[in-house]
Structure 1
Amino acid sequence: MMGSRIRREKLTINRMIALYQQRCPQANQQPGHYAALNAYADKRLDKCVFGEEKPACKQCPVHCYQPAKREEMKQIMRWAGPRMLWRHPILTVLHLIDDRRAVPELPEKYRPKK
């Protein structure tokens, strides 16, 4: 079962990717590239070890993206983030609030064995 926080994160990522794809002049990728990237982000959110208590991805101690995809998402977020305030102000404010949340403790089953 997916909670409202994960749903909102998926919507925010979807909007950021769409904005980047639409407006960024250097976004000349293969057809379907951004749809695949969005599907990848959704899948990673579905499998987040923190679930509804997840911190903002940039603060997360568990980097669940492949390095190349992580760098691409950082580039998209860096470009789209400031522009989101004008196009999706509620999502932006909620994301900024989430960004200030404390990072929860890693669930027991994901902690390294001693």
Structure 2
Amino acid sequence: MNKVEREKKTIALMINIYCKKKHKSKDNLCEECQELLNYANTRLSNCKFGEQKTTCGKCPIHCYKKDMRNKVKEVMKFSGPRLILYNPIEVIRHLFY
């Protein structure tokens, strides 16, 4: 799996955790979380660094609009610690990446 696809998988996991816990979604993401996931996937697909990209937090160029960047930060702050319970292998991959 390439770096961009790995980042997409990680953000999808985090948004799913966030939506289920915060918005009480069961099977699908709520509209707001689906919009955030679509936005993040679009940005990742269009990343100018491609396979040489770092994690978005370490990137010198912030391509997310401010409001979306704040939403992603909120999701990551909430879901990051919980990700170890839901997918510990992904946490380890993300740490080494």
Q: Give TM-score scaled by structure 2 length.
A: 0.88
1:59 & 1:43 partners in 2: Cα distance? 19
Larger Rg: 1
Query: In the alignment, which residue of structure 2 is the partner of 1:8?
Result: 6
**What pairs up with 1:50-89 in 2 under 5 angstroms?**
50-89=49-88
Query: In the alignment, which residue of structure 2 is the partner of 1:105?
Result: none
**What pairs up with 1:1-114 in 2 under 5 angstroms?**
4-24=2-22, 27=23, 31-98=30-97
Matched residues, number = 92
2:95 alignment partner AA: L
Q: Which runs of 5+ in 2 are unaligned?
A: 25-29
Percent identity of paired positions between Structure 1 and Structure 2: 37
Instruction: Report the Cα offset of residue 62 of structure 1.
Output: 0.4
RMSD: 1.4
Q: Give TM-score scaled by structure 1 length.
A: 0.76
2:18 alignment partner AA: Y
Instruction: Report the Cα offset of residue 59 of structure 1.
Output: 0.9
Q: Larger relative CO (CA 8 A, sep 6+): 1 or 2? A: 2
Instruction: Report the Cα offset of residue 90 of structure 1.
Output: 1.2
Runs of 4+, deviation exceeding 4 Å:
none
